Amino acid sequence: MPSEKILNEKKAAVSALAEKIKNAGSCVLVDYCGLSVQEDTDLRRQLRAAGVDYSVIKNTLARFAMKEAGYGDTFDQILNGTTSIALSGDDVVAPARVLCKFAKTNDKLKVKAGFIDGEFADAAKIAELSEIPSKEDLLSKTLYCLLSPIQGLAIALQAIADKQAQPQTEAAE
């Protein structure tokens, strides 16, 4: 039987993880079995650069945390084997994008499932989500679409002004 101190530490870990899960906009659970230290370091670096909180968790602690966060038994079947969790609050697509991109080049990493805005998402849905462009890309495309007609108008007006300026120059000579 574990000591009271160890139980309290585990309860605190579960509460902290549950709080992170509640505050996360998205979560992706992956099986990292077989990754080398270098591969894991590269993955962690990419996730950190994308603003994603990534950690390895024990399945039992993850089950308790998911239940405490309000997901009930949804993830019980998925939390088997080696499991790590990627959480993001700001960019809900970031964990899926980074992990699926990494999984394409490294067959040892397997996406299990996750959630997006509180809704369960299987591995196929996570892969589909990873194809969505980043927020910055979408904003730049939107701005381009908004500025393109104005830019076209400016070019047309400049061409008209240049054309009207040419005959005056020739007449002056």
Q: Residue 45: give its domain's CATH number.
A: 3.30.70.1730
- Name the residue range of residue 75's domain: 4-132
Map residue 2 onto helix, strand or coil: coil
Q: Are residues 93 and 154 in the same domain?
A: no
Residues 45, 18, single domain; the answer is yes
pLDDT tens readout for residues 24-42: 999 999 999 999 999 999 9
Asked if 101 and 145 sit in the same domain, the reply is no
Looking at the structure, tell me whether residues 128 and 140 fall in a common domain.
Answer: no
**What is the Cα–Cα distance from 123 to 37, expressed in whole angstroms?**
24
Strand, coil or helix: what is 132? coil
Q: Mean pLDDT across the stretch 38-64?
A: 93
Judgement on whether residues 24 and 79 belong to the same structural domain of the protein:
yes
Within this chain, do residues 29 and 81 fall inside the same structural domain, yes or no?
yes
User: DSSP string of 48-112?
Assistant: HHTT-EEEE--HHHHHHHHHHTT-TTTTTTT--SS-EEEEESS-TTHHHHHHHHHHHH-TT-EEE
Per-residue pLDDT for 125 more than 70? yes
Q: What is the tally of structural domains in the chain?
A: 2
